[in-house]
Amino acid sequence: MTLGERLVEWFLGSRRDLPWRRQRTPYTTWVSEVMLQQTTVDVVAPRFVTFLDRFPDIKALAAAEEDDVVAAWSGLGYYRRARGLRRGALAVVERFAGEIPSDEEALLSLPGVGPYTAAAIRSLAFDLPAPAIDGNVARVAARLFDDDGDVGSATTRRRLQAHLFPHVPEGCAAAFSEALIELGALLCRPKDADCSACPVAEFCGARASGRVSQLPVKRPPKRARPVLSARGWVERGGSLLFVERPVDASLLPGFLELPGRWGPEGEEAPDVVREVLEGLGFDGVCTYEPVAEARHAITHHRIRSVAVRADVAGPAPRGCRFIPWDQVDPERVTTETRKLLQAREATA
């Protein structure tokens, strides 16, 4: 018997009786997978049943008022998930005539559906070979294949999925995916894996190498580095100066932002702003006191943004333009600049 066949055989004989397994459809799979994000099986099970009584299918969910959906989510917390699910249901009704698609790209185009939920719907409801890798399954797969990559990284998760693909038994994709989930919940637990009772122990790489307790590897998140982002606040006749990011920029191409740059904390914002504005081609730059401050974070950086009022001489150089206050489109400015504009508005 192969690894996949052994897993499926064990699952069919040992599976827990859970409400979403009794009525497996794309809709019930979607609802249960969203509920199970950040919430335990014991908490989800009774609430899943009442939610399904209230909204038995995708059309009923799409037709419901948002407040009713949020009320039916009571006790599960993270109400953002309920709103996302209803938005997804509306999109299915509007764009797919009420039929949840099985195509990966179509699923990923739905609000609230990421790679994990798409794979779960495809494998569990449509019986397609697309093993869904959540934290639980990543742990099982890392041990089975003795993989010491960081399970928090997308690269490792893709590799684990690729490891699993060849083991999906013909015609048993759904049972295979559920078996991995079940193995992680019942035997291949985070701290005390019960390898002696495991149906696939003879195939397990970590058991053979003696690394069960060392896997999976989870690297601690990198510490965020503090940076100063100094920005020029250049007003002229009711307009504010913006720089347009290059159309081929890897990040936010074509977006508008206040002129400036990042640098280490410790630099003086007025000095940075003067240097940037002179670099853009303005003459006679004078800088004054800070007018707005905002904070935000992006991958591994903790950013303190400071906008400094500046007077400049001469017309706006190429790539820069003055835009009247009431014509600034908030959808076209970077998050950092939007926060600075909001901070300025709040204190003006």
Nearer to ligand SF4, 51 or 176 (CB): 176
Task: State yes or no: is 33 an active-site residue.
Answer: yes
Task: Identify the residue among 76, 130, 172, 187 touching ligand SF4 (CB under 6 A).
Answer: 187
CB nearer to ligand SF4: give 189 or 309.
189
CA dist 186 to 2, 8, 197, 199, 273, Å?
A: 21, 15, 10, 12, 59
Residue 169: CB minimum distance to ligand SF4, A: 17
Q: Which C-beta is closer to ligand SF4: that of 52 or that of 215?
A: 215
From CA 30, how far away is CA 15, in angstroms rounded?
20
Number of residues that bind ligand SF4 (CB under 6 A): 14
Q: Contact region for ligand SF4 (CB under 6 A) — 59-67, 74-82, 202-210, 325-333?
A: 202-210
Is there binding between residue 86 and ligand SF4 (CB under 6 A)? no
Q: Does 143 bind ligand SF4 (CB under 6 A)?
A: yes
CB 325, CB 241: distance < 8 Å? no
Q: Is 212 in the site for ligand SF4 (CB under 6 A)?
A: yes
200 binds ligand SF4 (CB under 6 A): yes
3-state secondary structure of 27: helix
CB of 256 to ligand SF4, least distance (A): 52
| Strand spans (E) along the chain | 225-233, 235-236, 239-244, 256-257, 260-264, 283-298, 301-313, 320-324
Q: Choose the stretch contacting ligand SF4; rule: CB under 6 A; options: 31-39, 51-59, 140-148, 337-345.
A: 140-148
Q: Does 6 help bind ligand SF4 (rule: CB under 6 A)?
A: no
End-to-end Cα distance, the chain: 73
C-beta closer to ligand SF4: residue 188 or 303:
188
Place of tokens 């950040």: 38
Q: What Cα–Cα distance (Å) separates residue 101 from each residue in 57, 118, 120, 125, 316?
A: 14, 10, 13, 11, 50
Minimum distance from CB of 140 to ligand SF4 (Å)?
6
Catalytic residue, from 9, 33, 104, 275: name it. Answer: 33
Please tell me whether residue 204 binds ligand SF4 under the rule CB under 6 A: yes
Using only the alpha carbons of the chain, give its radius of gyration. Answer: 27
d(CA 118, CA 34): 11
Residues identified as active-site: 33
Residues of this chain that interact with ligand SF4 (CB under 6 A) are 140, 143-144, 187-188, 193, 195, 198, 200-201, 204, 206-207, 212
